[in-house]
Structure 1
């Protein structure tokens, strides 16, 4: 189906560092596996996007997953009317980015894996994890693997996680899976918490510190005022804001601002 969507760019979303199972398949098209479903999405022009999926899945899953009901135009307008020259340039460069509403468990594992890894390496490791422990499914002849549940991972041994390029993160993922599977940390309750309380609860999980917890809050719970600080955002703050960025300036959508900053800075200084 073809949808007309303003402030939506598939390539920018795929390359914004928030999702690791969205892959370029050529001709402005990307595949995506999320919530045990498969999607192909193609950018026809600036505002026209094709979603190749069941009509019901678009209405019940993908429209919400891509945050299509949020007014990103209002965010863009607010920034353009500010005096923040750097952020204006960042928005012009990546105004098609949206904050995805991803599965909380998958986001936790993905960002534990992400520590000290390049994006291609993260994607490769996650795919290996899914192929080994996920469920094999198909959509219109396309084979894909679902993301394994915490219960499935919790049943594994350290030896069982070898060969996935997890490195030192294997114990973090196994311990976190067990903590969630046995109910010590309840993901459904975390979803209902405030951003501050959710971050505190997430930090009880093995391998989850301040930065990962903020990433999970933003990308896995849509707490769009979360402001994760990684090496790229630190470079932005140090270079353009004198070492301090006042999040009160963009209160209510700091996470969206962070994505514009990250995408622009990472592409401006490709390495």
Structure 2
């Protein structure tokens, strides 16, 4: 990643691996606003950064450059990650090209937990409105914006206060989880294994498997998580159903090298493993295929994490963003 850290800004020269719209509008964060053109402002905790697009670069203007260098995960080589994902499936090649500038943010755990509880069965505009009202209600006044509330600040609100912000049934979840987290060092949870972390998160009020996966991925960078929602269910049933039947059943990770079907190197459903994907589109998109749809989220999550291993989180973001945007455009 080609970038330079200055006193009051970060200059990112590699626009193929950094795009403000892709990063902020791929479902991983809610506290941002679009400014003129393709410029944005993003908030994290009590911090703010403006992302300004220039002809040959992006400028991340902020008062804490080291924080936002980590926040945008600038030290990770996304070009290599996209290359690994793209070479195996044509759909991922398309998705990585479309959302080429996605980077998975490193967000603050408490803010991520509360934000994704609020996000359950909700739409983006409403989620953003609720969170903004929450920040204004009890977050620290930073001058031209309000910080996300700390745990102690949020503890001052009642269920009624939270309902008044428009949270509805989620108010009780936020209230109860805030109490449950009192005295918990959320940063130390990063040392937990993914399974242990998910177990803890699901014990919180209002946190189910999908929300837990989102928190683990976006706050703790657990890349072996694959949050499954409506868009991922569509992707799975359209592009990965047959792949999972023929490969995951054998306990195979699709991203392992030199992994060839023992039956024959010309097996139509495994051919992409040996370096070619000539038949991939044909059998994945066959409108006449008789394979039944899979609706069980647990099965979809299990199969996709087995397919992508420690690249699951990256694959999820590229696929989610691509499918959602294509459907919105009627493609």
The equivalent of 2:175 in structure 1 is 174
Unaligned runs of 5+ in 1: none
**Which residue of the other structure, out of 227, 234, 255, is the alignment partner of 2:313?**
255
Aligned partner of 1:52 among 61, 71, 76: 61
> Does structure 2 conserve the Cα–Cα contact (< 8 Å) formed by 1:4 and 1:48?
yes
Alpha-carbon distance between aligned partners in 2 of 1:31 and 1:192, rounded to the nearest angstrom: 31
1:131 CA drift (Å): 0.6
Q: Supply the distance in 2 between the matched residues of 1:8 and 1:225 (Cα, whole angstroms).
A: 22
Greater C-alpha radius of gyration? 2
Distance 2:78 2:187 in 1: 27
Following the alignment from structure 2 to structure 1, what is the Cα–Cα distance between the partners of residues 190 and 207?
A: 16
Q: Distance in 1 between matches of 2:54 and 2:85?
A: 27
1:92 is matched with 97
In the other structure, the counterpart of 1:65 is 71
Unaligned runs of 5+ in 2: 1-8, 242-293, 295-299
| Corresponding residue number in structure 1 for 2:204 | 205
- Is residue 214 of structure 1 aligned with residue 220 of structure 2? no
Partner residue in 1 for 2:323: 265
Match 1:32 to one of 36, 42, 49: 42
Answer whether contact 2:138 2:153 (CA < 8 A) is retained: yes
SS of 1:252's equivalent in the other structure is helix
Q: Is the 8 A contact 1:11 1:28 kept in 2?
A: yes
Matched residues in 2 for 1:208 and 1:175: separation?
11
Q: 1:249 to 1:161 in 2, by over 3 A?
A: closer
User: 1:91 Cα deviation (Å)?
Assistant: 0.8
Q: Separation in 1 of the partners of 2:240 and 2:197?
A: 28
TM-score by length of 1: 0.91
What is the alpha-carbon distance in structure 2 between the residues aligned to residue 65 and residue 162 of structure 1? 31
Shift of 1:81: 2.0
Question: TM-score when scaled to structure 2?
Answer: 0.75
Moved over 2 A (4+): 243-250
Aligned counterpart in structure 1 of residue 23 of structure 2, from 13, 35, 38: 13
Alpha-carbon offset, residue 267 of structure 1:
0.4
Asked if the contact 2:18/2:100 (under 8 Å) is kept, the reply is yes
Q: CA RMSD in A?
A: 1.5
Higher strand share: 1
How many residues of Structure 1 are paired with residues of Structure 2 in the alignment? Answer: 260
Q: How does 1:89-238 map to 2 (within 5 A)?
A: 89-138=94-143, 143-181=144-182, 183=183, 185-238=184-237
